[in-house]
Amino acid sequence: MQPVIEMRGVTKRFVDVIANDKVDLKLFPKEIVGLLGENGAGKTTLMNVLFGYYNLDGGKLLINGGEVTFGSPKDAINHGIAMIHQHFTLVQTQSVLENVMIGMEGSFFLNKKKAREKLLGIEKDFGLNLDPDAIVWTLSIGEQQKLEILKSLYRGAKTLIMDEPTAVLAPTETIELFETLRILVASGHSIIFISHHLQEVMDICDRVIVLRSGKRVAERKVSETSIPELASLMVGRELLERLERGEAKTGNAVLEARNLKVRNNRGIVAVDNLSFTLREGEVLGVAGVSGNGQTALSEMLFGQVKPEDGEIHISGKNIPGGSPSAIIKEGMARIPEDRIKTGLFMDLSVKENMILESHVNEPISKKGLINMKEIRSFAEKCINNFSVKTDGMDAPVKSLSGGNLQKVILARELVGKPKVVVACQPTRGLDVGAMEYVHQAMLDQKTDGAGVLLISDDLDEIFLLSDRIIVMYEGKIIGEVSTNEADRDKIGLWMSGVTS
Amino acid sequence: MISMSIVKRKPLPGWVILVIPVAAVFVTLLITAIPILFAGGNVFKAYGSLFYGALGSKFNLLETFVKASPLILTGLAVAFAFRAKFWNIGAEGQLFAGAIAATWVGIYFTWLPSFLVLPVMIIFGFFAGGLWATIPAFLKTKLKVDDVVTTLLLNYVIFHIMGALLFGPMQMPGSSWPRSASIMDAAFYPMLIARSRFHFGIIVSFVAILVIWFINSKTVFGYQSRGVGINLEAAKFGGINTGMVILKTAIISGGLAGLAGVGEVAAIHHHLMMDVSTGYGYTGIVIAMLGNLHPIGVALAAFFFSVISVGAQTMGRVAGIPTYIVGVIEGVALMTMLIFILLTEYKIRWTKS
């Protein structure tokens, strides 16, 4: 059979890294191929090459047997390829129908009636029911994803690339998505499904291609492989990390959230009447499907957002909400979810990033004047203690790898021996080595007597590090359990909102 | 077909930033040789007379400094604001504010002991410009109104306020022109070198360069202001009061432009009139970009612009090139510099397909 898409020896280089190294991939009609790999393995790059975002540095691209070159995504779309990104590309203030029509108007005058008929036809054929007049921002994340799929189908896509489509979905929404994908395949479409969730790949794919450090390391039929095999192929060694979590020696409460409530920028309640107590010497894991209020919770704890209601207490002291400097003064170590957007000045040097939170304190500065000598010795201490790999403290921080960027933040936050550590998605986007480093650092903090709040989407990470687990669902805590008594299935149910 | 793409490059070593302005000026002169040739001029003669006219004699050199002074101040004003991503396009208006305040002090504060007149005039001029710049700063931080638009439009507002004053309360008695009475002698910037216009304001602009350099590199405020410009969200996260930083930045920026206004009144015209500025505030934007927002860079860029503008007179006489070439050189210099700065972060790659 003729593959709809064939990538032969595809190579893509960035400045000094090979993101894809002679990767082969075939996709046949009516097939779902899983593209599996860790963060940074080159999955997204490979798909961006296929979708025309990047030029090839080597290799060939064939569609239905004929060689093609894509200069831009437009060429890919014209060949029936659609890509559904992790972050949706929708106009939030427009209706479903308008979003579907964008770029497809055809002529100067809109023919909304015809477009609506076509859209409703597609909705019926594929069981994707959305009100064409609904405004996008009122839709749930799952519905927005449906809209993205509808947009692709409206444009006549035969091949869908889905970049980690389940990362933002609740388990029930994932089940719905998988039904849709099965209908699509039955009607002759093909799908490339990018994920690092092994169970999902096993559930939905026909074939799996495993990437590691830019290379294609294996290809398996799902029926002929197992989760442990895929895991070891993906990571490149037999076992996932084995850390000694150690006993929790809990002491006084270091961080208390009391009845916290906040709305997101759409005015919808993101965190609702949420309370917890974190004690010295323990790791408290906050699990949940992403988008259930974890980001809003972290932003309140970090002082970036003022709670609408409720109180935050650090070591028994009530801290005014919405003031990062008040939180910093109490010595909370804060590891933000998005290190590049929130945590770092990418255009400044390593040393200037080290002093972000201490630059107003003596001895780093005195009477409004900064003391370069003190900055240098502080930065040197940070770099040495946390073995940050850099060309020196004067190197621009943007020249560092993702793992070392995170180490810069860890160093800055942890070097002062904090009593309380709040880490939000601390290993997102890191490779295995850096991930282990971060995990060990969290456990070291606990051993040193700090209380660690770990907010993470990654259930494995939660289980690996936490002494206690709370699960967030729709802004509330739906359940709490000690890790030793925790049952993964039950936590999975909690994550999807089922309590009984 | 050959297609072009722009890709990120590895960070370049620090010294490159020093070479770039020099290279940009060189390339600019190469490019502007083309219109000079078209105008029938001899390129060597033209550039020779240009530089001779600006630097060749003591008088010419001093005149170049005179011309550079307001450009340094407005250039610093814009650069200081831009560094914090406060997009101050309003240096022209802040200059007017400073000039109005200086004239007001210079005409009406006759009761002041004469040794206090200049300091008071400078302080009033600084804060008039600074306060005028706080309006867009408040609008930006409190209401999220775009600062490019507000700073630009406020230029017209203050221009017409100035017009109303000059046709009204500040008009010189007996005059039908929009000009004020002359300021008192004690309000004149002293001339520091005999038989030249090398005045005290030039010292003011040199001090301003040092002060801004000091603020940028040695103070907590300089760090915070740069942080706010680079990543507002990270600055907030780090506990920096970003609204206050933007406000202070606006005051300093507007104040510097205000000082340019003070200088034009106190050293050059000795009264206020509608064309007290020949677009110094706008030229300041170009100079700030050309100087890569660094105070030393701004000083050099202002000097370069001044050289061209002063030298063009001589070039016009000697080589017969119209002085309009000044505008061409300024424009090309900015474009070249922007492209060079772009090329420090990105490189162009040609691909055959």
Which ipTM did the prediction report? 0.84
Domains A5-235 and A243-331+418-500 fall in the same CATH topology: yes
The mean pLDDT of B107-111, rounded to a whole number, is 94
State the smallest CA–CA distance between residue A49 and chain B in angstroms. Answer: 15
Q: How far is CA B23 from the centre of its chain?
A: 22
Interface test with A, best of B144, B214, B237 (most A CBs within 10 A): B237
Q: What is the Cα–Cα distance from B56 to B59, expressed in whole angstroms?
A: 8
Backbone φ/ψ region at A288: left (φ over 0), alpha (ψ -120 to 50), beta: left
What residues of chain A score a pLDDT lower than 50? 238-240
User: Would you state the pLDDT for residue A500?
Assistant: 66
Best CATH choice for the domain A5-235 from the list 3.20.10.10, 1.10.150.300, 3.30.70.360, 3.40.50.300: 3.40.50.300
CB contact under 8 A, A343 and B221: no
Do A330 and A317 meet the contact criterion of CB atoms below 8 Å apart?
A: yes
CATH superfamily of A243-331+418-500: P-loop containing nucleotide triphosphate hydrolases (3.40.50.300)
Are A71 and B353 within 8 A, CB to CB?
yes
3-state secondary structure of B19: helix
> In chain A, whose CA is at the least distance from the CA of B353?
A69
Structural domain including B75 reads 2-352
Beta-carbon separation of B227 and A356 below 8 A: yes
Look up the CATH number of the domain holding residue B197.
1.10.3470
Domain count of chain B? 1
CA dist B33 → A332, A452, B51, B220 (Å): 61, 66, 14, 45
| Cα–chain center distance at B212 | 14
Please name the residue that has the structure tokens 């089940």: A175
Nearest C-alpha neighbor of A255 from the set A189, A312, A177, A338: A312
Judged by CB atoms closer than 8 Å, whether chains meet at B230 and A15 is answered as: no
The pLDDT score that the predictor gives to residue B119 is 96
**Listed range (A96-105, B64-73, B79-88, B265-274) with the worst mean pLDDT:** A96-105
Least confident residue range of A429-438, B135-144, B159-168, B238-247:
A429-438
Domain ranges of chain A: 5-235, 243-331+418-500, 349-415
pLDDT category, B122, cuts 50, 70, 90? very high
Q: Which residues of A touch B234 (CB under 8 A)?
A: 341-345, 356
In the prediction, which pLDDT does A106 show?
Answer: 64
For B31, residues 6+ apart whose C-beta sits below 8 A from its C-beta are B332, B336
Q: Which residues, in sequence order, are CB contacts of A68 under 8 Å at separation 6+? A: A61, A62, A75, A79
List, for residues B258-293, the tens digit of each pLDDT value: 999 999 999 999 999 999 998 999 999 999 988 889
Q: Which two tokens stand for residue B50?
A: 């240009």
Q: What is the pLDDT of residue A239?
A: 46
pLDDT tens sequence across B297-341: 999 999 999 998 899 888 888 888 888 888 888 889 888 888 888
